[in-house]
Amino acid sequence: MRVCRMTERIKRLKTREEALAYGLSFPDTYQEAPFHDDNWQLVRVKGSRKAFLWTYEKDGCVNLNVKTDPAWRDFWRDAYRSVTAGWHQNKEHWNTIILDGTIPEEDIRRMIAESYDLVTDSPSKRIYEAVKKVPAGRVATYGQIAALAGDKKMARAVGNALRKCPDPEDIPCHRVVNAKGELSGAFAFGKVNTQEKLLAAEGIALTDGRVDLDRYGIDSAVLHQQCFRDDGGGQL
């Protein structure tokens, strides 16, 4: 039987309560005990109801099941003996973290955060995050946004996502045009010429109904650098 011990030199995440509290710190999450067994406490995402953190006691230790990117799955298992293949879950996509005091808190938090990101990830979310990187006074094309969101072939999906833009005030969908600099008609705003007016307010004038991409278009390399800085050196 594994002996759960705590080492004090490095800060450790020690209890189920601490793990649950961290999981619940992410947006739109809630706690649930779905099996009529208080030993199993999950943190789910509202709406999709997908669980990204499973907690339970096994062999005298608190265990956490978290979703993992297959590219990082073996890294964590190799780094810590107390990270194993997901118990009672798909072992390709889930890891089990045993809270036996051997894993630094920052790495446990990172694994939980990665699980949340994987469960909440969607093409639309990545598209909206990419659009947020386009600064006022500049425009990007559907193709540029698609590439930044991870798949240069989904330019059409970009258009569909922008027409359903849930928060035009926070997501500047009006800064996205097609490869010819043409606007999107009624777009996500429900009125003709709204996109043109929003661009004009940011100093972008149309020529023959189009945006001059040589003048106002943002360079793809600059856009990627902006994302790299904003995300602390990471990716969307």
The catalytic residue positions are 173
Q: What is the largest CA-CA distance in the chain?
A: 75
- Nearest in space to 219 (alpha carbons), one of 114, 155, 147, 151: 147
- Helix H or strand E segment including 211: strand 210-211
Rounded Cα distance, 170 and 78, in Å: 41
Residue 118 burial (CB < 10 Å; 0-12/13-18/19+)? middle
Looking from the CA of 224 toward its CB, the CA atoms found within 13 Å total 8
How many helices (H) does the chain have, and how many strands (E)?
9, 10
- Nearest in space to 65 (alpha carbons), one of 77, 78, 51: 51
